[in-house]
């Protein structure tokens, strides 16, 4: 059983390229439909919990599912499976990159990749406000965060702690 958990998450980790969000449909298909380890409702609860905990969503949902299926050892198997393929791949890439970073062809590729990365970050910025309930009244809040962190170099840690404290205060009134 533990081996099966490990192998399933290994497959999930190996075949999702392009960040954590891309992993979610695959994880759902594997753990809800194929293996029926948890129900769809449990999965959705887990997804919500994964979004509220810090860290990568894909790793969090693996932790949640692994723990649900088989306690702490299931959790460790799921996490290892999820991150091993990417850790291995990125280590290989890092080793190669250190050797070939000075090649002209690599430099040319990155001259185009850099602005493309900016585009990748800009797109969710347009799509997210709707999803997270942003409106004219509360838009000052993310705007202030962007200016404080992006322009003035304030650490996000303080803003996150302050936000948590403020939200708790708000709900107690």
Which of these ranges, 1-9, 29-37, 154-162, lies near other proteins under the rule CB under 8 A?
154-162
CB of 31 to other proteins, least distance (A): 14
Closest CA to 27 of 101, 82, 104: 82
Query: What gap in Å lies between CA 101 and CA 75, rounded to an integer?
Result: 37
Interface with other proteins includes 93 (CB under 8 A)?
yes
In the list 50, 69, 70, 81, the residue contacting other proteins (rule: CB under 8 A) is: 50
CA-based Rg of the chain, rounded to a whole angstrom?
A: 20
CA 89 to chain centre: 17
Of 7 and 53, nearer to other proteins (C-beta) is 53
Query: What gap in Å lies between CA 78 and CA 64, rounded to an integer?
Result: 9
Integer CA distances (angstroms), 47 to 42, 59, 60, 122, 161, in order: 9, 11, 8, 24, 23
Interface with other proteins includes 141 (CB under 8 A)?
yes
Interface with other proteins includes 136 (CB under 8 A)?
no
Query: How many chain residues touch other proteins (CB under 8 A)?
Result: 100
Residues 6+ apart with CB under 8 A from 64: 46, 49, 50
CB of 107 to other proteins, least distance (A): 4
CA 128 to chain centre: 15
Within 28-47, the residues that bind other proteins by CB under 8 A are: 45-46
Interface with other proteins includes 100 (CB under 8 A)?
no
Within 114-133, the residues that bind other proteins by CB under 8 A are: 114-129, 132-133
CB of 20 to other proteins, least distance (A): 4
Within 51-70, the residues that bind other proteins by CB under 8 A are: 51-60, 63-64, 67-68
Interface with other proteins includes 99 (CB under 8 A)?
no
Main-chain phi, psi angles of 159, to 5 degrees: -65, -40
């Amino acid at each position: 059983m533990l081996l099966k958990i490990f192998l399933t998450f290994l497959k999930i980790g190996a075949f999702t390229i392009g960040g954590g969000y891309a992993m979610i449909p695959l994880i759902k298909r594997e753990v809800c439909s194929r293996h029926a380890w948890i129900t769809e409702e449990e999965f959705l609860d887990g997804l919500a919990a994964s979004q509220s905990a810090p860290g990568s969503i894909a790793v969090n949902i693996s932790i949640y599912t692994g723990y649900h299926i088989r306690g702490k050892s299931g959790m460790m198997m799921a996490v290892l499976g999820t991150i091993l393929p990417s850790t291995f791949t990125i280590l290989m890439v890092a080793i190669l990159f250190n050797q070939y970073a000075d090649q002209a062809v690599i430099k040319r590729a990155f001259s185009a990749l850099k602005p493309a990365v900016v585009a990748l970050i800009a797109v969710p910025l347009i799509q997210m406000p709707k999803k997270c309930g942003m409106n004219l009244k509360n838009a000052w809040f993310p705007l202030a965060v962007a200016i404080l962190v992006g322009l003035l170099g304030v650490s996000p840690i303080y803003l996150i702690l302050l936000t948590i404290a403020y939200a708790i205060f708000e709900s107690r009134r």
